[in-house]
Amino acid sequence: MVYHQVMSKTIMITGVNGFVGHHLVDVLKADGHTVIGIGQDAEATAKNADKLARYISCDLTDEAQVRERVSYDGVDGLIHLAGLANVGMSFAQPALFLAANAAMSTNLLQAALDEGAKTRFVIISTGAVYDNDQQLPISESGELTHKTPYAVSKLSVEMMNDYYRSRGIEIATMRPFNHFGPGQMQGFIVPDLLAKLQAYQESGSDVGVGNLKTARDYTDVRDVASAYAAVACADQPPKHSVYNVCSGKSRTGTEIYAALAAALNITPAPEPKVDQSLIRPNETMNIYGDASRLTEEFGWKPQHSFEQTIQDTVKASTKA
């Protein structure tokens, strides 16, 4: 435990059945907290079933369902993970991303306001809201961007956070940069490259890639989960409205590719072939953040090295 917390809390997690949700449940349970999960599936996943005090099936975009099924009575904190998070997909479905992401958090917060809840909200935004044309590392005061529909949808969430904060609800907005680790599904660079390299091992198939020259700030998902838990469970209220969650350094897609190939014992690594369909418009070449605010206030620091996370991710994929 890296944050000041004396008593155990009751924490509600939206998106509990997702990639980060599974790891967050483990972090909270390890620190002795009671966890209530919310998901769109009818039941909790097998991984979570025995760990949750209660599971609530709810479509968070449906205001009536939220009011009917979600109660904040006895809930100390809510960590809002649920949302659409695929940057590439947001270009094809911008209206869906804007409507869904804004509606989920707004419905939860309005219900809390109407209920008079004293619950602390930790709402997950993204480091993708930052403009790339600025000095690195990027702090919470960095310039913001509107270059992707995903970023715009998350900025709309942040603006609603500001509104509800002005109405008296305690809200911390988290801006995580890229994160990966055991259990991440395809649709993101690490699991996508891993799956393609595993296919190469089996059949010798070509490894199609996007722009591997771009560099991003990557953090282990378990460390990201610990950051959310730190803010949600700390006895003191957050001093700031926004916190970056990041490692403070960037790695290129080429570095990730080489690390995955090495972890799979593929020597030499096959020459990747650029697939133009995987190239994103308005691509940021390099970005990394500054999480010193989170570190100074809550004592949080990443505990897993990049190399260890790669190894753990590969091991988890071979067990699946």
Separation of alpha carbons 166 and 162, rounded Å = 6
Mean pLDDT of 286-297: 97
Residue 204 neighbours by CB distance under 10 Å: 8
Task: Give the pLDDT confidence of 70-90 residue by residue, as tens digits.
Answer: 999 999 999 999 999 988 899
Query: Which residues 6+ apart lie within 8 Å of 143 measured at CB?
Result: 130, 131, 133, 134
Predicted local confidence at residue 306, as pLDDT: 98
- Classify residue 203: in a domain, yes or no: no
Query: Rounded to whole angstroms, how far apart are CA atoms 198 and 203?
Result: 9
Element (DSSP H or E) covering residue 214: none
What is the domain range of residue 227? 10-181+219-249+288-304
pLDDT of the residue at 87: 84
User: What is the tens place of the pLDDT at every residue in 170-205?
Assistant: 999 999 999 999 999 998 999 999 999 999 999 999
**Structure confidence by residue, pLDDT tens digits, 2-59:** 555 658 999 999 999 999 999 999 999 999 999 999 999 999 999 999 999 999 999 9
Looking at the 3D structure of the chain, how many domains does it have? 1
- Whether 274 is in a domain gets the answer no
What are 252's strand-pairing partners? 215
Which pLDDT does position 280 carry in this prediction?
74
Tell me whether residue 315 is in a domain: no
Residue 316 token pair: 């988890």
- 170 near 120, Cβ under 8 Å? yes
Would 48 be classed as within a structural domain? yes
Specify whether the CB–CB gap between 54 and 10 falls below 8 A. Answer: no
Tell me the mean pLDDT in the region 206-210: 94
CATH of the domain at 235: 3.40.50.720
pLDDT computed for residue 147 by the predictor: 87
Q: Does residue 191 lie in a domain region?
A: no
What is the model's pLDDT at position 320?
A: 62
Is residue 158 situated within a structural domain? yes
Residue type, 300: W
In a domain, 263, yes or no: no
Is 86 among the domain residues?
Answer: yes
